[in-house]
Amino acid sequence: MWKRVSMEEIQQPSYKEYTSAVIKNLSHDTVKIKETKKLAGLPTEILALRDKAFGIEGKFINMVRDFYNAGFHIEISQNSNVEKPIVIDYITNEQNDTLIDYNIIEAEANSQVTIVFDYNSGTKGFHNGITQVIAKEGSTVNIVKIQRLGDEFNDFDNNLVIVGKNAMVNWSNVVIGSKVSAFDVAVYLDEVGGTFTSKSIFLGVDSQKYDMAYKVYHQAPKTTSSVDLKGALKGSAKATFIGNIDIKKGAKKAKAEENETVLLLDKTVKSVAIPALYCGEDDVQANHSASAGQIDEDKLYYVMSRGFSLEEARLLMVQAILNPVIDLIPYDPVREIIIKGHIGRRIIK
Amino acid sequence: MKKPDIKEIDFSIYDVKDNVKYEYQTGKGLSKEVVLEISEQKNEPSWMRDFRLKALEIYQKMPMPTWGVDLSQLDIDSIIAYIRPSAKMQRSWDEVPEEIRRTFERLGIPEAERKALAGVGAQYDSEVVYHNIKESLTQQGVIFEDMDTAVKKYPDIIKEYFMTKNVTPYDHKFVALHAAIWSGGTFVYVPEGVKVEVPLQAYFRMNAPGSGQFEHTLIIADKGSEVHFIEGCSAPQYTVSNLHAGCVELFVNEGARIIYSTIENWSKNTYNLNTKRAIVEKDGIIEWISGSFGSHKTMLYPASILKGEGAKAEYTGVTFAAKGQHLDTGSKMIHLAPHTSSKVLAKSISKDGGISSYRGLLKIGPNAEGAKASVQCEGLMLDDISRSDTMPVIEIENDNVDIGHEAKVGRISDEQIFYLMSRGLSEDDARAMIVRGFVEPIAKALPLEYAVEMNRLIKLELEGAIG
Amino acid sequence: MRETLLEIKDLHIEVEGKYILKGLNLTIKKGEIHAIMGPNGGGKSTLCNSIMGNPKYKVTSGQILFEGEDITNLKVNERAKKGIFLSFQYPEEIPGITVDNFIRTSVNIVTGQNVSMLQFAKEMKNTLELLDMNSEYRSRYLNVGFSGGEKKKAEILQMAFLKPKLVMLDEIDSGLDIDALKVVAEAVKKLKSEDMSILIVTHYNRILDYLEPDVISVLMDGKIVKSGDKDLAKILEEKGYDFVRNGV
């Protein structure tokens, strides 16, 4: 059967310093940013979350909690609308190849912010991080996480999202790099009217191994969630997708939907999808779907009839799936790099 | 909104506790002696006796499953494994003892017989009481025999196929248990090219307190043959735990087709842990049609192994979990060869705190070029104290595939109720109609009297529920 | 002088905290074709649903009398049995139940009689023809996968069998192309008995070319603000609803 990736499978790194993070677009006076390393203690709101289950596995969480060497605590003050995205450039290289980041984002009531995490560069290394997002009443938080680490990287990302009353969190994972990459996004819609949407993509080639999970907990009435994951697998790449919609009794009028689409580009790929739906409340609308298959032959033929070679046509079709999400990345330089560099290079070999 | 006024299901027709004499009973608890007694009672050949003993060993070594329904209250040792009533196996209906005939009459067997079914193998407390094979079947070379007899009459076939190539005692603990103390069941063999026109039906029932049902069904459909087998079961209400650990092994050979229909309606204190598996060869077809009602806890996952090129499998099922019930069912579709296809339509209804779980597996192996598979799950919740869980696993190891999976959960909408009421239906009738419509794909696939029985069961289950 | 069939007195209706009907008065006589026009959001659909008894629409005060009987607190299916029929603006889909099965069940309940198979088949054939519908609709699941137009026709099919006293057509013209509208309107006309009253809620008034109204009422801001004869439609078309608003 299948198993989630576990700590035992990788060679654990020894503790190392990390100093090459760069934050861009700091020009906001309504945003307070501190390095978590330099905090006297964790914020009380975060400590209160100690019993909220999240993460790939306990061992990953504990490692970050005890050994984080990077990370930012970002507070957005009430009613502030931060227009320009805050970009956190987590660069890795030979000297900085062990990144254990602990990020905390607190959006006060009615604030709006967009934060882009770009995990990039380096050839080999280890990344294990925690990101906790608290979106208070009426706030809107947009998170984009780009993972384009080197081919020999092991990458693990544990996320916890708490959505407040009438708050909205929009989440995007762009997964392209690393040898082994796992993420887990646990979303708690604890209060009335909370909304969580997610549009994510992945591209696995060669012998990459991805483990992706979204767990949405509807614990209050009139909460809404929508998770959409699209990706393509080539070579002997493997992907596991876990999508849990968990609706608690009392979460009346909750609306939840989930969709996963995988394009299979080679005979030797492996895809496992577990779209689970747990429901304890009848007055809801919940549905999920998962589909997998090859690129539509008719579409390939059509594109080729316009002069594209088979390889080029396939690339085009894969781009068609991935681009809509890449286009959402609110930071041009990164978008360019991904489209030109990563995607093209990986599809056409 | 007022809380619904719940009435317990009126199963008076099934709650027949006949004062039937029990000729022989194995003592409480499961031991080597018990297994030997069973084998001796049946006058079995030594190879079957040895098979049972080996299975007992396996059973004793295996741990209890850690997933699925809660089995902590199940005390296997205290269940009497084997009871044989005083009647011996019969050829014609008239020869069956009065008490037993009456029970079956109330459960509708004679009517079914009159309706030109091919034959009825009926199990009454672990032993086949009545058995009748119509002439045409025998002429066609079709074997339709109770399992106990088949072991002695066709030892070569049984030895080759009985829990060797399909389900084996190593699969899980309850299969090992079954292998050790199995009793009764049906053996069907359909020769090459023969299409059995009329559905074959088996009917069995638990009656004594604590008695287990461990019947074994083995169907071999030879090349190009076709057969439709129906199993339906019921048991009266008792306080002592009842256990049903049956096993169904189906062999669909090249170009053959087996339709396997089941209406399960075990009494509300039964643990129903059943194992069903079909191996389908080239261009073969297996169709499972399943209606699961009743029982306290059920674990049932009919599996289809699509071994030959072009093999097809279809599963259409409904589960209805009411108060105190946890029905954990699903289907396993395993694609191992090129151009295989599978289709699953799983519907579930939960009410009064019942838990309905769908646990499915769709596996596409590396050689399953051109595989097509679709899964559709729909959960209907009738109140906010019940549960509907869907846990599908989709594993794909080939790119040339076309896979789709869809699941949704919801309730009967107020708008639908209003619409139907505006056409004169009362609220209860509107609900009943919508639920009937919900299970219609399953009803459509069942022979008429089973569809009627199923709709009747649903009506009973719904009665008394208000908004 | 025709008898009164439906009388609505000072009806106040609240839906999800909003007051939609604010003291509505309306009288419909037996055999009358009565059109309700008005701007969107004024309460036209609410009116139909309230007469039908949709529990979502709460009566906070006022009365609905049908054939002299107070039906304000009567359940939906009871009202259907009294002879009230609503052609829904968005008919519900009921998977698994065929059109045939459904109509037969409904007819049995509302008329209280078992319709004979032969009679039913005959009537079905005739009505399907009248509505320019293929007989294969009989075995299709009720409204499942039907286009907007097909759904409206299926509503009239049901109406034909139930032979109601009051037929409410809730925006039957929306979603129908010119030809289909003609078919449906002519069918309703043909199916209308002398005593059958028809309440037409319409947005455009093309349907009024086929079903000539005896009375036109304008519903605005939750009340009937003006009534007139069929010429009122032309006036509204030329001058718009503001004319009525200002005139009141």
- pLDDT at res. A138: 97
How many beta-carbon contacts under 8 Å exist across B and C? 75
Give residue C105's pLDDT band: very low, low, confident or very high (50, 70, 90).
confident
C238 burial type by CB count under 10 A (0-12 exposed, 13-18 middle, 19+ buried):
exposed
- pLDDT at res. B224: 97
Bridge partners (DSSP) listed for residue B83? B25
Alpha-carbon gap, residue A250 to A220, rounded angstroms:
7
Question: What radius of gyration, in Å, describes the C-alpha atoms of chain B?
Answer: 22
- pLDDT at res. B110: 42
CA distances from C108 to A194, B19, B419 (A): 47, 45, 17
List average pLDDT for each run of 10 residues in chain A, which is 349 residues long: 71 84 80 88 86 91 92 94 92 91 96 94 92 97 94 95 97 94 96 97 93 97 96 94 95 96 93 94 94 86 77 81 84 80 68
pLDDT in tens, C150-164: 999 999 999 999 999
How many Å lie between the alpha carbon of B234 and the closest alpha carbon of chain C?
27
Query: A227 with A214: CB under 8 angstroms?
Result: yes
Give residue B23's pLDDT band: very low, low, confident or very high (50, 70, 90).
very low
Share of chain B above pLDDT 70, in %: 75
Give residue B205's pLDDT band: very low, low, confident or very high (50, 70, 90).
very low
CA distances from B300 to B248, B274, B293 (A): 11, 5, 12
B114 burial type by CB count under 10 A (0-12 exposed, 13-18 middle, 19+ buried):
exposed
- The mean pLDDT of B142-165, rounded to a whole number, is 91
pLDDT in tens, B281-333: 999 999 999 998 878 889 999 999 999 999 999 999 999 999 889 999 999 99
Token pair 């959006």 is found at A107
Instruction: Give Cβ neighbours of residue B45 (< 8 Å, ≥ 6 apart).
Output: B151, B152, B155
Indicate the length of chain A as a whole number.
349
Longest dimension (CA), chain B: 69
B425 touches chain C (CB under 8 A): yes
Residues 146-185 (B) with a CB less than 8 A from some CB of C: none
Which stretch of DSSP H or E encloses residue C210?
A: helix C207-210
How many beta-carbon contacts under 8 Å exist across A and B? 117
- Amino acid making up residue C171: E
Smallest CA–CA distance from C51 into chain B, residue: B422
Provide the 3-class DSSP secondary structure of residue B249.
strand
Smallest CA–CA distance from A253 into chain B, residue: B410
Structural domain count, chain C: 1
CB contact under 8 A, B394 and A292: yes
- The mean pLDDT of B166-178, rounded to a whole number, is 90
- pLDDT at res. B134: 58
Give residue B3's pLDDT band: very low, low, confident or very high (50, 70, 90).
very low
Please, what is the average pLDDT of chain B?
A: 79
- The mean pLDDT of B48-56, rounded to a whole number, is 94
Backbone angles phi, psi at A242, to 5 degrees: -120, 120
Lowest mean pLDDT among A223-237, B196-210, B433-447: B196-210
Smallest CA–CA distance from A281 into chain B, residue: B384
Residues 354-383 (B) with a CB less than 8 A from some CB of A: 366, 379, 381-383
- pLDDT at res. B466: 24
Alpha-carbon gap, residue B92 to B104, rounded angstroms:
14
Which of B273, B125, B153, B250 lies closest to B200, judged by CA?
B250
CA distances from A141 to A101, A109, A229 (A): 20, 11, 19
pLDDT in tens, B221-257: 999 999 999 887 543 333 344 688 889 999 999 999 9
Smallest CA–CA distance from C92 into chain B, residue: B416
Smallest CA–CA distance from A235 into chain B, residue: B399
- The mean pLDDT of C23-45, rounded to a whole number, is 92
Alpha-carbon gap, residue A227 to A225, rounded angstroms:
7
Share of chain C above pLDDT 70, in %: 99
pLDDT(B100) > 50: no
- pLDDT at res. B389: 95
Alpha-carbon gap, residue C33 to A252, rounded angstroms:
42
Range of the domain at C188: 2-244
Give residue C51's pLDDT band: very low, low, confident or very high (50, 70, 90).
very high
Number of Cα atoms under 13 Å in the Cβ half of residue B459: 8
Four-point Cα dihedral C1, C3, C6, C7, nearest 10: 70
Alpha-carbon gap, residue B237 to B300, rounded angstroms:
21
What is the reported pTM?
0.82
Q: State the DSSP string of B26-38.
A: PPSS--HHHHHHH
- Amino acid making up residue A8: E
Alpha-carbon gap, residue B164 to C176, rounded angstroms:
64
First and final C-alpha spacing in chain B: 8
CB contact under 8 A, C106 and B426: no
Please, what is the average pLDDT of chain C?
A: 90
Give residue B81's pLDDT band: very low, low, confident or very high (50, 70, 90).
very low
**In this structure, what token pair is assigned to residue B239?**
């306080």
pLDDT(B52) > 70: yes
A286 touches chain B (CB under 8 A): yes
Selected residue with higher pLDDT from C113 and A52: A52
- pLDDT at res. A8: 76
Chain B partners within 8 Å of C77 (Cβ): 421-427, 430
Query: B85 with B23: CB under 8 angstroms?
Result: yes
The conformation of residue A331, written as its DSSP 8-state character, comes to: -
Give residue B48's pLDDT band: very low, low, confident or very high (50, 70, 90).
very high
Which of B185, B327, B310 lies closest to B257, judged by CA?
B310
Chain C partners within 8 Å of B418 (Cβ): 52, 54-56, 76
- pLDDT at res. B95: 52
B460 touches chain A (CB under 8 A): no
Calculate helix-pair angle for B173-181, B32-41, nearest 10 degrees: 50
| From B388, B402, B406, residue closest to A279, measured CB to CB | B388
Q: State the DSSP string of B117-129.
A: -SEEEEEETTEEE
Task: Give the pairing type, strands A86-92 and A21-24.
Answer: antiparallel
A296 touches chain B (CB under 8 A): no
Which of A212, A218, A290 lies closest to A258, judged by CA?
A290
First and final C-alpha spacing in chain C: 28
Selected residue with higher pLDDT from B378 and B240: B378
pLDDT(C125) > 90: yes
**In this structure, what token pair is assigned to residue C30?**
């037996």
Backbone angles phi, psi at B344, to 5 degrees: -125, 130
Chain B partners within 8 Å of C95 (Cβ): 437-438, 440
Domain extents for chain B? Answer: 22-300, 414-466
C16 burial type by CB count under 10 A (0-12 exposed, 13-18 middle, 19+ buried):
exposed
Provide the 3-class DSSP secondary structure of residue B105.
helix
Q: State the DSSP string of C152-171.
A: HHHHHHHHHHH--SEEEEES
ipTM of the modeled complex = 0.89
